[in-house]
Amino acid sequence: MNKKDWSEEELIQQLKKMPEMKDTRSKEEIFRNIEHRLPTKKSTNHKKWYVTLATSAAAIIFLLLLPSFQGENILDAPLPTEDTSNFHSQNTLPSINGNDNNNMGINSHTSIVDKIDNSVVISSINGGIYPGALINFGHSLDLVTIAVPDQQAEIMIPLAYLYNRDSLMNDANLYNAFNNNGFKIPNGLSNFLLKDARFTLVTTDSKTVHIDVNANHQFASGSTSVMMFYATVEALLKYSEFDRATFSTDGKAGIELDNVGKIYELKQSENKSGYYLYEVASTKQHFLVPIAFEGLSFEEMLNQMSIQELEKNYKAILPAGFVKDVEEIGNSVVITFDEKFNLNEMAYNIEIIDAILFTAKEFGYEFVKFNGIGDVIGLGPYNFTEKIKVPIRPNAIHVPNE
């Protein structure tokens, strides 16, 4: 048979009988060389046999080099590695579909990145047991933060609700919308005490919200109820644009409180808070909670946050001696940890970082830089190689589209 009459299968069989050839070049270099020699789009006016010949030539070269690849799976070849020196920070919104493999994927932690018609970034990394701190969210969303008592009526748990915006609203109307929409409170917590109240922005003072309650309100049923009422309003002022609240009862000035009498207004407390952990026994879900102390500096507050007070239903999660040094620099604070502690091995590591960040926010700091954390360069959405902007709100709850 004439060689030029060989079929494709016979040609391949003859090629396999040729002596083994080795090539010291890498597979990537060989493929780049082949690709470089293939015709470009500019040659589309050439005859079809030219393309066929070039393709056949590439196949022949591959077959000749096949023995050098023997025992190696091309699919096992290492992928190009990305430069991980520049991690996303809380100022750079990661991919909202969660497919960005470098999206804070440090130390095997993955930040939960949800989507409600726009981007939402929170710090939670454990599947909803801890809702996480709100770091960033899209402009088409509304944010309203309430606080509810635990079932023992001892502490207040702040909850930051995100939902789709229907129209531009001030903070007063956001509370009305919250009450009207009937958003669900997490299991194991009490109801929002002001769920039947009406909120109005005081036009003469944009920092004041007016709260009108029903005459049959429950705030006068005992000292515990009165304390929870004060705590609910103080939390409202803490997590809103307001610093003062005025009151009325069915449109009449003031609100009557048991053992207190009639009050007409409350102002935002000047006491600073440290953040602790509260766990719902029935669901094991836990939340960050602010506990106020009077007259403490920021460093003293961090030390206080490592002390577990007996018979309290909130938990101190900062280990004693964990914070080694605190240095204040303008609107930033540098916190140095004792390197004998391994942040990765701590049960509440992301919660600890959030608690410190929110405590720093209480004292007016906008950024925190963490030092002394060993080889841990990031956790969840936080990049420890740079200063971190304090989060927006604790305990983010996303209300899905209906």
Q: Tell me: the pLDDT tens digits for 374-398?
A: 888 899 899 999 999 999 999 999 8
Alpha-carbon distance 269 to 190, whole Å?
A: 23
In this structure, are residues 160 and 204 in contact, taking their beta carbons and an 8 Å threshold? no
pTM of the model: 0.70
Q: Give buried/exposed letters for 285-309 (b at 16+ CB in 10 A, else e).
A: bbbbbbbeeeebebbebbbbbeeee
Q: What pLDDT does 96 receive?
A: 23
| Spatial distance between the Cα atoms of 119 and 132, rounded to a whole number of angstroms | 15
Domain contains 186: yes
The pLDDT of residue 233 is: 96
| Residue in this structure with the two tokens 């007259």, named with its chain if needed | 295
CA-CA distance, 287 to 279, in Å (whole number)?
A: 6
Q: Are residues 42 and 151 in the same domain?
A: no
**What are phi and psi for residue 106, nearest 5 degrees?**
-100, 140
Residues 140, 24 share a domain: no
105 is a domain residue: no
Answer yes or no: are the C-beta atoms of 133 and 356 closer than 8 Å.
Answer: no
Q: Report residues of the chain scoring pLDDT below 50.
A: 1-4, 22-32, 34-118
Which residues constitute the domain of residue 187? 130-271
Among candidate residues 36, 60, 76, the one where a domain is terminated:
76
Is the domain of 63 the same as that of 140?
A: no
Indicate if 190 and 267 belong to the same structural domain. Answer: yes
> What is residue 120's predicted lDDT score, i.e. its pLDDT?
80
Chain segment 296-352, per-residue pLDDT in tens: 999 999 999 999 887 788 999 999 999 999 999 999 999 999 988 988 888 899 999
User: What is the SS3 assignment for 80?
Assistant: coil
Domain boundary among 250, 271, 292: 271
Question: Domain total for the chain?
Answer: 2
Determine, yes or no, domain membership for 191.
yes
Q: For residue 331, is it within any domain?
A: no
> What's the rounded Cα separation, in Å, for the pair 136 and 93?
7
pLDDT the model gives residue 305: 96
- Does any domain span residue 257? yes
Shared domain check, 135 and 57:
no
Q: Based on the fold, state whether residues 148 and 244 are members of the same structural domain.
A: yes
Written as one letter, the residue type at 116 is I
41 and 145 inside one domain: no
Same domain for 209 and 142: yes
Give me the pLDDT at residue 173, please: 87
Query: Is 241 in the same domain as 152?
Result: yes
179 is a domain residue: yes
- Asked if residue 254 and residue 161 are part of one domain, the reply reads yes
Of 271, 296, 327, at which residue does a domain stop?
271
Are 142 and 34 within one domain?
no
Residue 265 belongs to a domain: yes
Q: 150 and 30 share a domain?
A: no
Question: Does the residue 225 lie in any domain?
Answer: yes
